Structure 1
Amino acid sequence: MQRAGSNVAKEMIKEAIAEKFDIKSLISSSSSSNAIRVADLGCSVGTNTFTAMQNVIESMERKCHSNDTTTKIPEFQLFFNDHASNDFNTLFTSLPLDRPYFAAGVPGSFHARLFPKSSLHFVHSSYALQWLSKLPEDLVDKSSLAWNKGRIHYTSAPEQVANAYAAQFAKDMEVFLNARADEIAVGGMMILNIPALPHGVRPSQLMSSVLSDFVEQTLFDMVTAGSISEAEADSFNLPLYFPSPKEMTQLVHNNGHFSIERMEITDPRSMIDFPITIPALIMHFMSGFESVFTEHFGGEIIDELFERTLGKSDEISSRFASSYNKGTTLFLVLKRK
């Protein structure tokens, strides 16, 4: 699914670099080297990051040739970033042998500074910014209106719960944008691909929300069965948020360091040429969140959680039929002012 999202964004990234990325000016203003420095934030360990970065580099090389056939192609340095717990050994073992760039790993949260001031020219992040830096404390506070008892997310919760998630996301984005504003040179570019909530759509209508609702049901089935305690379930919440385009526009404008060059909702499923089955979607969901469940409940519940959720496939399929079935990924191009 994430590869499909990257494929949908591929041509738009090419267009953004061709139209908005001024390589010559960025290199001429650099006092350190004749190199373009690129960072992929939230790279994980799979090949998706290499595919996305190859597209970025090829687009930049094409831009150089189109501007002036005598212009020397700059060297490229790519920084692959993720949390320190990321398996960088696996990542770098998989590096393409014929890569046209110098590679480095940068461990750490992108909700903080990672690079020297004005050292980057291009930043890319795909399917990573939906993760919150932390969960709102009110979700587990029994005296709060945002106490999320009996639920694991905000999509089917009262407004106070959704507001708590939105407030945390806004704080995270402010920190993120301020950090990138320090790190990206003036005129540099940032491209973000984020799961989002289209205008006029309720959070509960998203396909991802349908899945989380059924996983939620399964968790509390396991409470009834005695597999986990009610207190454990009530203190668990998924740490992710899907912003709307309107929210993102306001957050970027409030921050003031970047101009919005392009923003649109895309549909990664348009790039998938095989049937998407319910078991495959459940497996995709569990693979993405297994570490979150394991950290809270322990690894021994994972198989039961998966099997019980799989047993709800017919119900999930029925809910999917009435869920929102169009684009839910936000493609955003920002330029450092």
Structure 2
Amino acid sequence: TKSPAMRDLIQLARKVAGTDTSVLLLGETGVGKEWLARAIHADGTRPGGSFIAVNCGALPETLLESELFGHEEGAFTGASRPRRGRFELAHKGTIFLDEIAEMPLHLQVKLLRVLQTKTIQRLGSEDEIQTDVRIMAATNRDLEEAVRARQFRPDLYYRLAVVNLRIPPLRERREDIEELAQSYLEVYRQQLGRPVHEIRAEAMLALIDYSWPGNVRELINVIERAVLLAAENEVGLEDLPRSITPHATNDFTPASAAPSETDDSESRDTAGFPRALFTTRLPDARSRLVEDFERRYLSRLLTKHEGRIGPTAKSAGITPRALYEKMRNLGLAKEDFKE
């Protein structure tokens, strides 16, 4: 990395890695909080142990407790057999609690007890189970503000935030964009079997100038898309989304549905789809079209419901957990849709 802020962060993370201290990772959606947590785990004292990630905001409150702590047979309707929770699965390893700010208050109490006693209780059991787990947590919210608003327990906050690691958004470390883009270009060139070897200067300038609201996750999606669509062995402006280059025409939206004075009819077929799309394998082309449609579809619903997960999932006909997973993969954050 060329970013002084990232170099300082990585240096601090390496110091923390050699301990079992609780770590709180802060940063916007898509900056790479789980990536850093995994790196700390791999470089720490438990590299041979499991790394178990739990998204606290993706599970309904009724299921989160069982997911974390497990349950005994008959603990609730549908509990037909005993089941170990994530803490037990992470024994001798690390548990990563993403979106910790979304955890209900009554579960925050139970998590605090785990931190204090290093024991857990399955739902429906009176027995305590010893657990040896390193806990790392992450959030894109201001937890100190949540504490002041009585939405997050102060005692739990202080136990989790022994060390705070704030990952800067991509727009604050533009000097890293070229290196990241080239790195993921190589990844997807090999993964997709495409003869794309470099990014043209004008396209790289557009990537560097873009604000990246979805951060590194959005950059990864953009590079994968560009490698797939590139007609030659270079990524050009025409291979980037219009959100990055307003005058680029290589978008998945049929030309008839989104007319533009800058449309180049030679780059599209009669249906309005990029001709480069037809040089790829059918599964790859289909997946990119579906991904683009899902991003647009869910963005409209999230805008309509002002970022609320429950109503959005209901309108889409999917579960909140499935919606969270799709948003994660598409680089969408509910905070971006709240008024």
Shared fold per TM-score greater than 0.5: no
Q: Which has the higher contact order (CA 8 A, sep 6+)?
A: 1
Higher strand fraction (1 or 2):
1
Normalised TM-score (structure 2): 0.32
Normalised TM-score (structure 1): 0.32
Larger radius of gyration: 2
